[in-house]
Structure 1
Amino acid sequence: MKALVFNGPKNIQYESFDDPIITNNRNLILKVEKCSICGSDLHMYHGDVIGTKLDYSQPMPKFCTGHETIGEVVEVGSGVSKHMIGDRLVIAGGKGCGQCKRCLRGEINLCEQSGLGGDVGAYGIMPGLNGGHAEYLEVHFADISAVKIPGGVSDEQAILLTDALATGYYGVKMANVKPGDSVAVIGQGPVGLMAAEAALAVGASRVYCIDPDEARRNLSAHFGGIPLSPAEAIERIREDTNGIGIDAVIEAVGVGPTLKQAVRLLRWGGSLCVLGILQKGTELPLQIMQAKSLNFHAGIAGVVNLWEELIPLVQGGRIQGKGVFTHEFSLADGAEAFRLFDAHEDGVIKVMMTL
């Protein structure tokens, strides 16, 4: 088959790769129809570090990239009961062991095998768990980690359900956003935009959408967000809250300056959820967080356990994801898609790749 293959930092190439086979009877083979690039893929692209083990600046075996994928089932393992050949599926961005109590509840992000080695984790970020930027993908533990594309959900929305929308919604839940709350979302890439739209969908009274890129932050206005530049955010929010501060902040960048801004924006007793992938040495103002009695969460979305709540919000039109996909490429031009997405050229927000 053909696939986008990681050959080192800023060296992702469209090339031949071995076809996947079913390695466990609970798995299936998906013929990929559409896929996308996640912002977290850029850490790999830059040669950064993810977690404690993945240092992309160091040599490693080749692997297919990508964890945002939809497509059609073409082969099914004997242990798969929920899916059959011809079904069109949304695939969760990651996999767990498929057997522990966390995985069986859909909390793949909390798999009990995490940290014990093996190929638990997101598709397409490491050797041994090839991703969906390819003509075919082996989907692991498919009864747990995949769902049929529901009626009333477009292909673009289905791609968002694989990761970006689920992650944004996870931020809303972990920041404990309640009806009537004021919310700020720092970073208006795809995940930040989805977090902002999801916050409004669950009843937030005001959602401030903060980003230095005017075009990105202004995209939030069509679903009711309040676009702000970082320079004006603190003063505007203090004015709007009579100096008290905001109820919840969702940080979708993962760098020191935005984390510090998040803490400054919050009221005493407010909630902060960090979705941005943090690099080693990232500073967090813990002394201020403690003094303000902030609630804090940083984590990776489970995706699967969020679908039951999320899919009806999409089907009912409360979350639409309009305007997130700004560019479309063929998979064969995936190297250029990565370059454009990384460079933030031509107003790019999110890239769709088709086969």
Structure 2
Amino acid sequence: MLFDFFPSATLTRYLAKTFVVRILAVLVMLVLVLMMLDLLSNSADILEHPGNGQEQILYYVSLRIPQLVQQFLPYSVLLATIITLATLNQNSEVVAMKAAGLSAHQILAPLLLTAFVISLFTFAFNERVVTRATGALTAWENAEYGPIPKDPDVRANVYMNDGNDILLASTISGSGANTVMRGISYYEADDTGMIVRQLRGSEAVWANPGWLLKDARIFDVGTASQEVATEPVLIAPDLRLEQIALRKVDPDSENLFELRRSIEALGESGRMTGELRGKWWHKISGPLSALLMPLLGAVAGFGLARSGHLFARAVIGMALGFAYFVVDNAALALGSFGGYTPLLAAWAPFVLFLLIGETVLIRTEE
């Protein structure tokens, strides 16, 4: 009885095939155009590094395309919904299906099923492909499009606070007591936050507590004098190994399970995790946005095409779809500031626009 909700098998295949073809066409068009614009902005930076050429440009493209697919696949589903339903309406196919006794929900059922399959694909694609591409691209960008350090634990351009003092490191490698920071700039500040001394060195190692800075060059702000230390200097006495290990979590480059472990580790160390928990929930709710698009764009497929309102209906459907993305981003931003709980920030827009789409469809067509 569940399959009675769908039209005939032939009509279901026809609608699903038409929908998929249009999704792919719109997605390819968007990705190609946006990739070309992206290359115009970043190709000069890539080629600026000595030795980089066409191979590095293609490597950048291979890492950037998965991000563009993730970002614009829901938009493609929305635009494909409007194009598909508007074309069916204009060719009187919607009228024929309604005359055969199909309701608006039954006409949309193949599109909703297709969108659900796309949502599942998007989730798997994000977890297996996009996170890895994002992590690799971030590491390459941190290396200024040069050779990426072979050590997977290497992090670049690290900024940390030790009370009022500030520590900058070009790279951090290793883990635990074997952690090594290189290219160190350490700024000592007084209780008012004014910098009183600057220390620069080639390398700092864990001294338990604090860090021993080698080849230290010390500049005293008060006397405007500089000296070179003959022995390693102890810096950042309150900067613990746990703070180094948990300095930053990038939710875009970690899959669902890795991000959960990172959140638990941050929570155990007393760090705030509200924003990351919102991103964790959004890894589930985000791909389901494709499921909403046929419902929000459905207004374009009904009504009389000859009434001259087809274009207006298409615009309304597009506006509803884009409004969802605006509200979704706004909810995540509010969640990161603590205005919403993480669960509410990730799921409220989905539930809200699901109800809006159903209301519009029922009030206008059912």
Higher strand share: 1
Q: TM-score when scaled to structure 2?
A: 0.22
Q: Over alpha carbons, which structure has the higher Rg?
A: 2
Higher helix share: 2
Q: TM-score when scaled to structure 1?
A: 0.23
